Amino acid sequence: MDPLERYIHDLSSPEEALLHELDRQTNLRVMHPRMISGHIQGRLLKMIVQMLRPQSILEIGTFTGYSALSMAAGLEEGATLDTFEVDDELEPMAQEFFDRSEHGTKIKLHIGSALDIAPTLGKQFDLVFIDGDKREYPAYYRMLMGDDGGVPLVHSGSILLADNILWYGKVVEEVAHNDRQTQGILEFNRMVRDDDRVESFILPLRDGINMIRVK
C-alpha cells in the first residue's frame, strides 16, 4: 500500500472485524485475491446502499463475499440481495462468512450463471453490482435491460454499478485479437455510452466503476 492509499485507508471509517478476517482469509486461501472488493470499495458500496435504500439487489460475481456483505450491511430489514457465483469452489468460504454475519440472512447465494438463473427469479432490482466474467459484461447488460428478448430486470431509477471498467489501463491500449476480457469491457462501455435509456459516468476508484442510472 503506497502512502496515499494508506492515508485514504486510515482516514476512512474502520473495516469491520469480520470483513477484515474475510480479506485476510481470501489472501491466504484463494487464487487471485486482488479480485476482492476490499475496505474502501466495500465502504462505498455500503454507503450507496444506505443512500438509495434498495429493497432488492442483484450482484453478479460473488467471489468470496466481501462486496455482498458490505452491501448487506447497508440494507434495511426485509430487503434482499441475490448474488451469483459460477465457481462452486468458492461457495463454502462465501457461505461460511455469510452465516457468521448478522446480515447474512439478507443474502441468497446462487451457484451458477446469472444469465441463466437471474431471469427466472421473477424480480426487478433496484441496485445491480456487476463484477463477474468481463467477457460477459455486454450479455449482462442486455439481460438487465431486456434487450435479449426477456423481461427487463431493472426499472426506471435503478442503479447499475459495473466494476473493473478500466481493466488495469488496458482500455486505452492496443487490444490483442484474443483478449476477450478487454474486448468485453470496451463493448460494454460503448453500449452504456450510446444507450439513451441511461445516464452514466466512470468513477476512477481502484480499477474503475461505471455508475449507471436507468432513466
Give yes or no for a contact between 127 and 161, defined as CB atoms under 8 angstroms apart: yes
Which has the closest alpha carbon to 56: 76, 73, 41, 37? 76
Q: Could you give all domains of the chain from N- to C-terminal order, each with its CATH number?
A: 3-214 (3.40.50.150)
pLDDT band for position 191 (cuts 50, 70, 90): very high
Give the C-alpha separation, 57 to 77, whole Å: 13
Give yes or no for a contact between 160 and 167, defined as CB atoms under 8 angstroms apart: no
Task: Say what the pLDDT of residue 206 is.
Answer: 84
25-49: average pLDDT: 93
pLDDT band for position 208 (cuts 50, 70, 90): very high
Question: Is pLDDT at 34 greater than 90 in this prediction?
Answer: no
Give the C-alpha separation, 125 to 115, whole Å: 15
Give the C-alpha separation, 138 to 167, whole Å: 15
Which has the closest alpha carbon to 163: 102, 114, 210? 210
57-73: average pLDDT: 98
CB-count exposure of residue 30 (10 Å: 0-12, 13-18, 19+)? middle
Place of cell 468481463: 134
Give yes or no for a contact between 70 and 38, defined as CB atoms under 8 angstroms apart: no
pLDDT in tens, 133-183: 999 999 999 999 999 999 999 999 999 999 999 998 999 999 999 999 999
82-108: average pLDDT: 97
Q: In what order do the strands lie in the sheet with 125-130?
A: 107-111, 80-85, 56-60, 125-130, 154-163, 209-214, 198-203
Task: Say what the pLDDT of residue 55 is.
Answer: 98
Question: Is pLDDT at 201 greater than 90 in this prediction?
Answer: yes
pLDDT in tens, 107-127: 999 999 999 999 999 999 999
Task: Say what the pLDDT of residue 33 is.
Answer: 87
Task: Say what the pLDDT of residue 35 is.
Answer: 85
Measured CA distances, 157 to 54, 179, 214 (Å): 11, 34, 5
- Mean pLDDT, all residues of the chain: 96
The three cell numbers of residue 194 are 450510446
Contact partners, residue 50, CB within 8 Å, separation at least 6: 74
Task: Say what the pLDDT of residue 2 is.
Answer: 87
- The DSSP element (H or E) to which 194 belongs, if any, is helix 180-194
84-97: average pLDDT: 97
Question: Is pLDDT at 195 greater than 90 in this prediction?
Answer: yes
